């Protein structure tokens, strides 16, 4: 039953689980706005560079939460994913969350067929079945677990297909598939838990919108892509 479920999910998302990076060969930049309670508070940008069969995806993000004019929460970070064809070979990130520094250093170990992770929340090895939990990649909807792009922690997840919908973003309408992505163990503390609604545009192979609730209503929305 599990194999059948995975096959159906892959079919819904892309019709081809193994043609992952090829779906992004036309993109140079993806721009997302970050909103809290309907107000734009930051951005999340992804940039793509190619060299033959190698692709580098860099991620820049920043958001600031204010209350009565005072900053109560601020996050700024940078990450870089490197791929050879469809294989992730390295990932590095540095993030400043208020005054706390977080990081990830991930390396692919081909002889072991594993990832070696040195992160602020986890140090050790990880299966290649894991994906980096960034929103540019629809592969996050195909995985049973993800690696935090900020701290390196590994979180098991369950992805549920909700249905097909239409959404309007910045005056454009998109046909999308709505998914629910949650932690496999929903009894873990809320600040450690995965609990996202995700809207995926199969035509463009893009996650168009992500929403969740944590100290308010949050949304990540694609504003531009080219």
Write down the domain spans for the chain: 2-16+28-225
Is the per-residue pLDDT at 2 higher than 70?
no
Is the per-residue pLDDT at 9 higher than 70?
no
The mean predicted confidence, pLDDT, of the chain is: 91
Residue 5 is predicted with a pLDDT of 37
Which DSSP string do the residues of 71-85 spell out, in sequence order? EEEEEEEEEEEEEET
Residue 23 is predicted with a pLDDT of 85
Is 60 within 8 Å of 48 (Cβ atoms)? no
Residue 8 is predicted with a pLDDT of 36
Is 54 within 8 Å of 84 (Cβ atoms)? yes
CATH 2.20.25 fits 2-16+28-225, yes or no: no
CB atoms closer than 10 angstroms to residue 11: 11
Which residues does 207 contact at the CB level (< 8 Å), separation at least 6? 135, 136, 137, 138, 140, 141, 198, 199, 200, 201, 222
Does an H or E element contain 47, and which? strand 39-51
Q: How confident is the model at residue 50 (pLDDT cuts 50, 70, 90)?
A: very high
Is the per-residue pLDDT at 83 higher than 70?
yes
pTM (2 d.p.): 0.89
Q: How confident is the model at residue 14 (pLDDT cuts 50, 70, 90)?
A: very low
């Amino acid at each position: 039953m599990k194999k059948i479920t995975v096959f159906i999910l892959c079919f819904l998302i892309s019709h081809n689980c193994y043609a992952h990076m090829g779906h992004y060969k036309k993109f140079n930049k993806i721009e997302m706005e970050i909103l809290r309670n309907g107000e734009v508070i930051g951005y999340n940008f992804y940039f793509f560079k190619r060299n033959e069969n190698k692709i580098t995806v860099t991620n820049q993000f920043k958001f600031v939460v204010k209350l009565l004019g005072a900053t109560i929460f601020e996050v700024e970070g940078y990450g870089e994913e490197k791929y050879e064809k469809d294989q992730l070979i390295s990932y590095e990130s540095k993030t400043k969350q208020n005054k706390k520094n977080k990081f990830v250093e991930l390396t692919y170990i081909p002889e072991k067929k594993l990832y070696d992770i040195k992160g602020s929340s986890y140090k050790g090895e990880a299966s290649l079945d894991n994906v980096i939990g960034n929103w540019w990649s629809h592969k996050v909807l195909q995985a049973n677990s993800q690696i935090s792009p900020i701290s390196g922690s590994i979180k098991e997840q369950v992805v549920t297909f909700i249905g097909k919908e239409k959404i309007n973003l910045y005056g454009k309408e998109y046909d999308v598939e709505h998914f629910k992505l949650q932690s496999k163990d929903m009894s873990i503390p809320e600040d450690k838990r995965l609990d996202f609604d995700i809207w995926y545009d199969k035509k463009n192979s893009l996650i168009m919108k992500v929403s969740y609730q944590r100290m308010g209503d949050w949304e990540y929305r694609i504003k531009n892509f080219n």
